[in-house]
Homo-oligomer: A and B are copies of this chain.
Amino acid sequence: MKHNMVKGAVAAFAAIATMGAMAAPALAADGKQVDQLKVHGGAQRIAAIGSASAKNVILFIGDGMGDSEITVARDYLHGANGSFDGLDKIGQPGVLGDAEAGTGQYTTFSLGSSSDDSLMAKDKSGNLAGGTTAGVVTPVTDSSASGSSWATGTKTYNNAVDVDVEGNPQLNLIELAKAKGLATGNVTTSEIQDATPAVQESHSTERSCYGPQGKWDGKTDTNGDGKIDPATDGNQTKNCLASQLKENGGIGSISEQLLDTRADVTIGGGSAYFNQIDTTYGDGTKTLWEQARDRGFQTVENDVDAFAALEYQEDQPVLALLSNGNMPTQFAETPALTQEATEQRGAVQCETNADWLGNDTAAGNSASLADMTTKALDLLQANPKSEQGFFLQVEGASIDKQDHAANACGQIGETDDLDKAISAALEKVDLSETLIIVTADHAHTSQIVSEPPAYALSTILESPVDSSQIVVSYGTATAEDPDAADINAGYNDGGMEHTGTQLRIAASGPGAQRVVGLSDQTDNFYTIGKALGLATETADQNALSNDATVAVTRNEDGGYTADASGFDGDAVLSYELKDDAGSTIAQSDGSTPVSGVRVATAQTTSIALDGVTEGAGYTLSVTGRQSGKTVELEFQAQANQSSQNTPGSSDVVAQGGVKNDSANPLGLTGSAVLGVALIVAALVSAALMIKYAKASRR
């Protein structure tokens, strides 16, 4: 990409004048209360500020990357007066051609964590979802509540993944982008099930609901009985709301929902959890890896060379998980020590970690975050859907994790990795049509101070660039290290806390100026969603399901299935099957908002209809639990009268569309019939137009 510097600086400012009409926001002197904040969009600060249109959006998240973390890394890596090659270009007027640019701050608070549990989702047994409660504002967010904020526009409680404080699933950016036909990607250095990537792939009342057997690696004989059995070796508590598990009629764990969301590109860690088994799938013995391949994913498991060889294949999304858990960091650990111990150790410099995936393999391949970002963009740009645009989230996850561990070099190396990923992206995209946003989910513990503090743990670094001595202090662990050996060695290897400060957000590209000033994390959902033309408002999201249809088919094996399509405004479906006598034959669980059938995003969701008897008549209703749109249809359960099923195929016995909706007022099967008629008419018209166009060109 060329950067015409002089012209760029002028145009970067001038571009703003071309932004769409916008009204001015009102500043509330005193903040809203929880009842107002908990609703979709309720915490926006700049709702009235308009957005520009962007074909593509890339959202870079430095997990835990507050201004302090940025400065620590810049001071060490580039000198206090230096600049990051990528990170410092985003938002900087004039340095990226004529791209619009903006920087600002946003608030990150969450909800929940009070003793008032009245608002919270409960499971069948009456247990609180996620063990958290709602009712007050929580000044310090975790990664899941903050991620849910920008992914869905809804403030929620710490521990929630794309559900509101009452447990209701909220549509996320990848779901909405898929509904619009865009290409989508999700890249992280953490476990792909971790909160930040999870908010683009799932809805979960608990962030640790990694897989159907919890956080088990799928291979360990946990109970030591000599057998590997998911039922007994899996994580018994599972860290999941029971009603969310598929075995209990729920929408499934984060890993399982990832397959339903089916982003075009998913790259990260956490491969081990895909060794677990979804007992409700197929014959009940297949691992999630096997299920992914069954469902057409290109899979890569812990293999950097295979990752490097990935190419776009039509309708074969990429699922590349390159480490069992979180990816190894770029730099080796430098534990923070007590005042006396850190002074004795003196200034240290960072050393490369031999396990880092950014190091070359024997074949010369590597998987730094920059490599993963480049690969994701190559795959997205080769995807015909990207002609309509793409949305890609890239997370540098371990800035946070190493900050939690009071590991200065760890967090610095991960910030460097993110910076280089941004630089890599800048090589691949055109900022006249691509909005790049760089921000964090929350700030963290590390502070740059003058001398090792008396209270906090610290590390003294010496910058290899300007030789300055940088003292990094860590003072927020809630408990002293439980590991006595560590305490005796003068350090604590974890437990540092997030902080609740407002955070930096920077953007370059169309609409970048929307981040200027003070906004809220939920505003970022609207900035991205509106730039891409997604359905950001609840009514528009509900309307995405206006054209939903359901077809009942008789399968080759004689069973019946309901195939629900077009429920693009929903994450969860409920259904009820009644016989002619009005008795309920089968229905989805509706005990909590995460019970029921997970929607296969922008695809067809199949629901097995159990208990159907040949020769009987039935009424099936399928409802999108978010949109409230219902498809109701009647069918006769009998082999197609004109013929038996064609071997190896299924026969549609009934189909219908949404009833009682102004966009589709016929309801029942009539609308589908009309729909087909209209499609045929449209095709005929199109053919005529093509013919006419050809004719007139002669």
**Which residues of A does B touch, CB under 8 Å?**
3, 5-6, 8-10, 13-14, 16-17, 19, 21-34, 37, 43, 45, 48-49, 66-68, 70-71, 74-75, 78-83, 85, 88-89, 91-95, 101-105, 107, 109, 136-140, 443, 445, 447-457, 463, 465-471, 473-480, 492, 497-504, 506, 513, 516-518, 520
Contact = CB atoms under 8 A, between A and B. Distances in A.
Contacts of A66: 67, 501
A370 B23 CA distance: 30
Contacts of A5: 23-24, 26
A31 B138 contact: no
A48 B454 CA distance: 43
Identify the interface centre among A85, A91, A102: most chain B CB within 10 Å of its CB. Answer: A102
Nearest to A506: B517
B468 A138 contact: yes
B501 A67 contact: yes
Contacts of A92: 25, 27, 516-518
Nearest to A79: B31
A467 B136 contact: yes
22 contacts: A3-B24, A9-B48, A10-B22, A14-B17, A27-B89, A27-B92, A27-B95, A29-B82, A31-B79, A67-B503, A80-B107, A80-B139, A81-B109, A83-B518, A92-B516, A93-B517, A103-B517, A139-B448, A453-B475, A453-B477, A474-B475, A506-B517
- A interface: dominant SS: loop
Contacts of A475: 447, 453, 455-456, 473-476
Contacts of A136: 466-469
A18 to B, nearest CB: 9
Given A6-B23, A9-B25, A456-B476, 17 more contacts: A9-B48, A13-B19, A16-B16, A24-B94, A25-B95, A27-B85, A31-B78, A48-B94, A67-B501, A67-B502, A81-B137, A447-B447, A449-B478, A449-B500, A450-B498, A451-B478, A516-B516
A25 B94 contact: yes
Given A456-B475, A468-B136, A501 B68 contact: yes
A478 B454 contact: yes
Nearest to A464: B30
Nearest to A77: B30
A538 B469 CA distance: 31
Contacts of A75: 109, 139, 500
B79 A32 contact: yes
A454 B468 contact: no
Given A449-B500, A478-B452, A466 B31 contact: yes
A525 to B, nearest CB: 16
B468 A139 contact: yes
B468 A453 contact: no
Contacts of A31: 78-83, 465-466
A513 B93 CA distance: 9
A119 to B, nearest CB: 15
Given A71-B107, A92-B518, A503-B67, A453 B478 contact: yes
A97 B136 CA distance: 34
A33 B466 contact: yes
A89 B452 CA distance: 37
A449 B19 CA distance: 38
B501 A448 contact: yes
Contact of A480 (B68, B81, B94, B454): B454
Contacts of A45: 81, 83
Contacts of A78: 29-31
B49 A450 contact: no
A72 B457 CA distance: 23
A476 B474 CA distance: 9
Which 5 interchain pairs have the tightest Cβ spacing?
A475-B475, A31-B79, A31-B81, A448-B500, A5-B24
A454 B487 CA distance: 13
A109 to B, nearest CB: 4
B67 A29 contact: no
Contacts of A32: 79, 81
A10 B89 CA distance: 25
Contacts of A492: 455
Nearest to A5: B24
B450 A497 contact: yes
B30 A82 contact: yes
A94 B451 CA distance: 43
A452 B475 CA distance: 11
B79 A30 contact: yes
A221 B6 CA distance: 65
A407 to B, nearest CB: 16
Nearest to A19: B13
A335 to B, nearest CB: 14
A473 B476 contact: yes
